[in-house]
Structure 1
């Protein structure tokens, strides 16, 4: 069958085909970008934070009044936690992975005069061993020793010590092209001698854990005991004993003092759920929008094809009477729809790139991979053919006598 007669018929009544092609183009542009956002958000929410999550929880207290014996309070709390049956390791810290709030250093570099080439990282204070307590994997160097720990009273000034442990991702940003990082120095500005890297952990997400893996894995550990009334303790338990230990930790720490209140106690699974609740909600909403758009587009194609079948019943009957087979009628409608869908898919390809460019500029999302564009184009083209198949088969099944009958 020649395509020219079909094109000629479409050009004589081009409004409906153009509207249908525009609907296909708009749907393609939206579903390509929403599908990528859905996968990106769900992938981010399920990635590992580098922590032994099934066996780790955190518990936080806030002062009800001024606390003067902060150092002895922290030491006693840690001793109490470590004495609970089932506890493997426990330590005070200033923040927790995926906790959504904490300390951040946005001015790190490998040299003191690195200008604008500054890198950000979450800052974990580590008087005990976060490497052990969080279950981190040390891939180079060593953990902090007790002699490395610096006790800091914020009312008397701030210091960060001489050593630092960093994540592999942060090390690769600071020292690109290198493979050994222990012994190098990290600087927070042009002043001072910086800190020496004594260890590298494979992975540790910072409290904000953005969807970009490089930014999420930017973390560093300082050997600091910070004297603050707002206390956070991280505990790792023996497998299967997390809930039991959590209950005992809440009861025993709450009973130690009456000048503070329990803020929260959460397992790492609960902390993860809170951090990624927004991503999962967004993914669900986008999934619903995508399904709705596909349904509307398919319904539009079916409705338009059914209208064209009814309008061409006499034409179909004449062609059947002149010897056209059912397959010829079916092929006519399929080719017509393929031409419309192709126009919509090509336009949608351009529109999808433009929409992604807007999202990259305004929302800092990643560039749309070509695989999503290719899959979206094929899916929309097949959707068009499948949607028109039922009306086309009904048209092909109409007997010539019925199709040419006048009222």
Structure 2
């Protein structure tokens, strides 16, 4: 089929083709970036925290009057929790993964002369028990804490720090990218002016309470320290399938031990995940809706344009059919015409998509758009254009020559 007659016909009536091409370009630019943002947000929300989320809960208690013996309270509570049937492990913890509030320390450096650090801030977990057992973490190198590693710190009296620490694999990789083992290596928490702390273990994953985007979500360290704070947070891991029942009993037991505190909250790490990533899921849902409506509007525009052109060209169609044009020729004419318009819109849309992504990268710290998403969206727009014009083109090809010339 000759392209020149189709192009000449479009140039005589440029407004409609230009509007459709512009609509295709805008749709491609928005949909391409929206699809990538949706994928990125959902992938972020699905990242594993490293913990056994379904079987770990945190309970938070706040004292409504002074606690005279914080250490004794913590020990009694731990004894009572561990006595509940179905409890696998429990620990006093200052924070939990995905909890959205907690402690951090930074920068983390590895020598006294280091000026800049790839780890500007790290989540600071501390506990007098085994977080590895309680959270269900995977120890990939070294060992867990032993009895002699634990220290006590009273925030009203001292600022004691332990001499050993456990770090995450991602944090170890950031601090020592070329090291085959990080055991025994020193880190300086808060800068080189502080005393060094020795790495004795590495866990596969342990997300921070904030679970920020990127590798920083796993910049966490664990310290063996009993923190004598009357504000209490216990983490409890239970047997699978019995979590709700066991945690209800744990809550009942702890409330029965003392009447000088109130229960602030009890939630699983799975619930913490839901709260932490509610914004990401909401954004993904909104972008899915926007993408659907944009595609619907673009398809409707193409259908409307093609239907209008069919009505305007009924006589032309009839004449062509009368001199021997087949239905397939008429159908192909409209499909090629739409393909040309869509291709022009796609070419402009690629430039718009790249420009929009550059803006999002610079202003919102989003990742750069992969080329594969451009290719996928281009193919989708071509298919959408062809499917949208197929109905009107088929109706045009089905018009008998006598009727087309008489009613034109």
Q: How far apart are 1:137 and its partner, in Å?
A: 0.6
1:331-379: per-residue Cα shift (whole Å, max 9, x none)? Answer: 1111110011101111111111111111111111111111111111100
Q: How far apart are 1:324 and its partner, in Å?
A: 1.3
Does structure 2 retain, via aligned residues, the 8 Å contact 1:40–1:211?
A: no
The 5 Å alignment of 1:272-287 reads: 272-287=273-288
Q: Which residue of 2 aligns with 1:42?
A: 42
For structure 1, the 5+ residue unaligned runs are: none
Q: Which residue of 2 aligns with 1:405?
A: 406
Does structure 1 retain, via aligned residues, the 8 Å contact 2:109–2:192?
A: no
Does structure 1 retain, via aligned residues, the 8 Å contact 2:97–2:206?
A: yes
Does structure 2 retain, via aligned residues, the 8 Å contact 1:41–1:211?
A: no
TM norm structure 2? 0.97
Aligned-CA RMSD value: 1.3
Measure the CA separation in 1 of the matches of 2:394 and 2:152. Answer: 80
Q: Does 1:320 align with 2:315?
A: no
Q: Which residue of 1 aligns with 2:137?
A: 136
Q: Does 1:209 align with 2:211?
A: yes
Q: How far apart are 1:406 and its partner, in Å?
A: 4.3
Does structure 2 retain, via aligned residues, the 8 Å contact 1:182–1:199?
A: yes
Q: How far apart are 1:303 and its partner, in Å?
A: 0.6
The 5 Å alignment of 1:116-135 reads: 116-119=116-119, 120-135=121-136
Q: Which residue of 1 aligns with 2:195?
A: 193
Q: Which residue of 1 aligns with 2:100?
A: 100
Measure the CA separation in 2 of the matches of 1:394 and 1:110. Answer: 74
1:182-225: per-residue Cα shift (whole Å, max 9, x none)? Answer: 1111112020332110000011111111242x121111101111
- Which secondary structure does the structure 1 equivalent of 2:307 belong to? helix
TM norm structure 1? 0.97
Q: Which residue of 1 aligns with 2:114?
A: 114
Q: Which residue of 1 aligns with 2:164?
A: 163
Does structure 2 retain, via aligned residues, the 8 Å contact 1:110–1:185?
A: yes
Q: Does 1:381 align with 2:387?
A: no
Q: Which residue of 2 aligns with 1:305?
A: 306
- Which secondary structure does the structure 1 equivalent of 2:233 belong to? strand
Distance 1:106 1:308, change over 3 A: farther
Q: How far apart are 1:129 and its partner, in Å?
A: 0.3
Q: Which residue of 2 aligns with 1:249?
A: 250
Measure the CA separation in 1 of the matches of 2:400 and 2:193. Answer: 90
Q: How far apart are 1:232 and its partner, in Å?
A: 0.7
Moved more, 92-101 or 58-67: 58-67
- Which secondary structure does the structure 1 equivalent of 2:116 belong to? coil
Does structure 2 retain, via aligned residues, the 8 Å contact 1:123–1:222?
A: yes
Measure the CA separation in 2 of the matches of 1:77 and 1:113. Answer: 44
Q: How far apart are 1:386 and its partner, in Å?
A: 0.7
Measure the CA separation in 2 of the matches of 1:136 and 1:267. Answer: 16
Does structure 1 retain, via aligned residues, the 8 Å contact 2:335–2:389?
A: yes
Measure the CA separation in 1 of the matches of 2:113 and 2:127. Answer: 28
Measure the CA separation in 1 of the matches of 2:356 and 2:365. Answer: 13
Q: How far apart are 1:118 and its partner, in Å?
A: 4.3
- Which secondary structure does the structure 1 equivalent of 2:34 belong to? helix
Does structure 1 retain, via aligned residues, the 8 Å contact 2:122–2:220?
A: yes
For structure 2, the 5+ residue unaligned runs are: none
Q: Which residue of 2 aligns with 1:268?
A: 269
Moved more, 260-269 or 111-120: 111-120
- Which secondary structure does the structure 1 equivalent of 2:162 belong to? coil
Measure the CA separation in 2 of the matches of 1:299 and 1:113. Answer: 65
Kindly tell me the number of residue pairs found equivalent between the two proteins: 406
Q: Which residue of 1 aligns with 2:361?
A: 360
Measure the CA separation in 2 of the matches of 1:341 and 1:211. Answer: 36
Distance 1:25 1:258, change over 3 A: same
Measure the CA separation in 2 of the matches of 1:263 and 1:404. Answer: 81
Q: How far apart are 1:148 and its partner, in Å?
A: 0.9
